[in-house]
Amino acid sequence: MRDRLLATLQTQPSDLSDAWWHGADIETTLDVLRESLASHGLGDALPEARLRADHADELDVDEDVLREHQLAVTAVAANERLAERGDVRRFRCFDRTLAVEKGDPAWLLVTPEEHARLRAETGALHPRDAIYDAARTLADVPAIDRTPVSVETLAPWEARSRAAAALAEQRYSDALRLWPIAVRDGDHGLLAELDWIETLRRAGDREAAIARWQLTADRWLSGERAVWDTQWTRLLKLHSTLKLDDADRRARIEARLPPRR
């Protein structure tokens, strides 16, 4: 969808940042955002003081919420500099379907005409994103949203992104709350099912990991979903890692894979 929509414009708007960073690491955050601004000729627009102040005050804030806030603060500061230069373009916030880094909103450098066209195609923003997008100066940017994230309100792709981050940071209980929603994320949901098993294994709950592995194997073997060879292979690897005594399911899975040369 991103490529199709951007292809309708006369120019190709660039993203404020196509990188990912750990929002709690302020020095890395500043380095990434400074480099992103420099790539647009706005290297002197980094709102370092505001970013540091917000970071010192963030306490226990959801990682994705913190990174979204840092991106918005940077976009607004860049827009102030563009206005000073008499440039009509602005970084505007769009639905995540236009983002390079799927978990973050897309901030694209566009003209007013390009903004109107893309907004008509992508629809209304998430309420929090709309507040950020409406800010014209740093003073307009609200404080970080500290409202606890309700798992039930997350889209599957968002739950998968958060669960993957929790797994990488060894926050297994957080990841396990998210995988049941993440597995609904289309083809990516198959990867989430594998990560769910891995999370249980790393958390030390071998019995639950085995039960989840068997449930996943039976569902995939039923043919209700198209499964890639790489996903079958990873399921087999988990079979070995968990030291399962389940020759029947293993043989049926191996039969789904192309013969080894």
- pLDDT of the chain, 261 residues: tens digit per residue: 556 555 555 565 678 887 888 888 899 999 999 999 999 999 999 999 999 998 876 556 777 788 889 999 999 999 999 999 999 999 999 876 676 655 678 899 999 998 888 888 877 787 888 899 999 999 999 988 766 667 777 788 878 888 888 898 888 988 998 999 999 888 889 999 999 999 999 999 999 999 999 999 999 999 888 999 999 999 999 999 999 988 999 999 999 998 876
pLDDT, residue 9, reads 59
Strands 90-94 and 106-110, bridge-based pairing = antiparallel
Is 17 within a domain? Answer: yes
Same domain? For 131 and 83 the reply is yes
Same domain? For 183 and 86 the reply is no
Is 259 within a domain? Answer: no
End-to-end Cα distance, the chain:
38
Is 196 within a domain? Answer: yes
pLDDT, residue 62, reads 74
The number of folded domains in the chain is 2
pLDDT, residue 116, reads 87
Same domain? For 45 and 158 the reply is no
What CATH number corresponds to the domain at position 242? 1.25.40
Note down the domain range covering 181. 151-254
Same domain? For 131 and 155 the reply is no
Last residue of a domain, one of 90, 106, 140: 140
pLDDT, residue 43, reads 92
Of 105, 126, 97, 100, the residue nearest 1 (C-alpha): 97
Is 261 within a domain? Answer: no
Same domain? For 200 and 242 the reply is yes
Is 146 within a domain? Answer: no
Same domain? For 16 and 109 the reply is yes
Same domain? For 62 and 113 the reply is yes
Q: Dihedral, CA atoms, 190, 66, 128, 123, nearest 10 degrees?
A: -40
Q: Tell me the residue ranges of DSSP E strands in the chain.
A: 90-94, 106-110
Q: Which residue has the tokens 């889209």?
A: 155
Same domain? For 128 and 163 the reply is no
pLDDT, residue 148, reads 62
Same domain? For 9 and 108 the reply is yes
Is 170 within a domain? Answer: yes
* Contacts of residue 127, Cβ cutoff 8 Å, sequence gap at least 6: none
pLDDT, residue 213, reads 96
Last residue of a domain, one of 140, 163, 181: 140
Other beta carbons within 10 Å of 29: 22
Same domain? For 178 and 239 the reply is yes
Same domain? For 52 and 166 the reply is no
Rounded distance between C-alpha atoms, residue 219 and residue 208, angstroms: 16
Is 39 within a domain? Answer: yes
Last residue of a domain, one of 114, 140, 166: 140
Same domain? For 159 and 121 the reply is no
pLDDT, residue 127, reads 81
